[in-house]
């Protein structure tokens, strides 16, 4: 290509124009390795041992963290390129719609109501509402909870489900966090804690609780955990589904289950099929 001769003034103007464009960030492309952002933001829980937990030293652990890390690598990001973002239950849909995170892996049960606002990859885990008991508890059936103290967090539907379906005379104790419920179970202040079995197993697997608790295995509900992505982002959705299928086929999924829930003798369901929701 031939360039016409330009004056010194014109040359100076051209250089300044190019410099301004470069400083302005171009077209906003942020592909990893192309001079743009080399990070990916992923939403998780910070307060669920065995699933999504921020450790005292600042690191992160749990099954959701392991799944998200595997998926991120399949999307082209190493572990040190992940920026973990705390996404509490009430803010998950907003975090995706605002673009605060690329995807969310945070005990995010797939429901028809939520599917109106976000898209879900997966499911990647089938959990069930259950009870956590002391290892020497004589509670064997849900009806044995009648007259006993049952703990769940304030506002949760788990305890109400137990009272409505199997133990109407259970004495409900509502605490601010599941950590408080677990401490109450350990001290004897309550007789049982109820929420998803995966969450209960995560707590029971912690070093300070090993051997102290057991799951009742009641399977009171089906909770299909999915990975939330922004509504309409089919490209990311398809890539995540491919990553989840690979994680199952190469054994990494089974290893993550064992690493995070094994000490609680969690009888997990097999890895669910992508797109198959268990009602």
Question: Going residue by residue through the chain (279 aa), what tens digit of pLDDT does each one get?
Answer: 433 334 444 434 433 343 433 443 333 333 443 334 699 999 999 999 999 999 999 999 999 999 999 999 999 999 999 999 999 888 999 999 999 999 999 999 999 999 999 999 999 999 999 999 999 999 988 889 999 999 998 877 788 889 888 999 999 999 988 899 999 999 999 999 999 999 999 999 999 998 999 999 988 899 999 999 999 999 999 999 999 999 999 999 999 999 998 878 788 999 999 999 999
CATH pick for 129-215 out of 3.40.50.970, 3.40.190.10, 3.40.50.2300, 3.40.50.620: 3.40.190.10
User: Which residues are CB-contacts of 74 (< 8 A; sequence separation ≥ 6)?
Assistant: 239, 242, 243, 246
Paired tokens of 243: 């990553």
Fold of the CATH domain 40-126+224-264: D-Maltodextrin-Binding Protein; domain 2 (3.40.190)
Q: How far apart are CA 242 and CA 253, in angstroms?
A: 13
Query: CB burial class (10 A; 0-12, 13-18, 19+) of residue 125?
Result: buried
Taking each helix axis as running N to C, give the angle between helix 234-249 and helix 63-74, from 0 to 180 degrees, rounded to the nearest 10.
110
Q: How far apart are CA 62 and CA 257, in angstroms?
A: 9
> Burial letters for 135-163: b for 16+ Cβ neighbours within 10 Å, e otherwise?
eebebeebebbeebbbbbbeebebbeebb
Q: How far apart are the first and last CA of the chain?
A: 65
Q: Give ranges for CATH 3.40.190.10 in the chain.
A: 40-126+224-264, 129-215
């Amino acid at each position: 290509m031939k360039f016409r001769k330009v004056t010194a003034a014109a040359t100076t103007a051209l250089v300044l124009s190019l410099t301004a464009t470069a400083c302005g960030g171009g077209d906003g492309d942020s592909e990893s390795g192309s001079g743009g952002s080399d990070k990916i933001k992923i939403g998780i829980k910070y307060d669920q041992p065995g699933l999504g937990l921020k450790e005292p030293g600042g690191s992160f652990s749990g099954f959701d963290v392991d799944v998200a890390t595997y998926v991120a690598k399949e999307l082209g990001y190493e572990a040190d390129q992940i920026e973990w973002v705390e996404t509490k239950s009430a803010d998950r849909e907003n975090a995706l719609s605002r673009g605060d995170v690329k995807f969310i892996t945070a005990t995010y049960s797939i429901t028809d109501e939520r599917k109106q606002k976000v898209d879900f990859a997966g499911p990647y885990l089938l959990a069930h509402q259950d009870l956590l008991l002391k290892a020497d508890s004589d509670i064997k059936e849900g009806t044995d909870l009648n007259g006993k103290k049952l703990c769940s967090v304030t506002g949760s539907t788990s305890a109400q489900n137990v009272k409505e379906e199997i133990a109407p005379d259970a004495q409900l104790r509502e605490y601010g966090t599941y950590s408080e419920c677990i401490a109450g179970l350990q001290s004897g202040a309550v007789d049982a804690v109820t929420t998803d079995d995966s969450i209960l197993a995560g707590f029971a697997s912690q070093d300070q609780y090993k051997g102290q608790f057991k799951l009742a295995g009641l399977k009171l509900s089906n909770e299909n955990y999915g990975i939330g992505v922004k509504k309409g982002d089919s490209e990311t959705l398809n890539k995540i589904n491919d990553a989840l299928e690979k994680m199952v086929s190469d054994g990494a999924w089974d290893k993550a289950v064992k690493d995070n829930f094994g000490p609680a003798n969690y009888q997990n369901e097999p890895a669910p099929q992508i797109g198959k929701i268990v009602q």
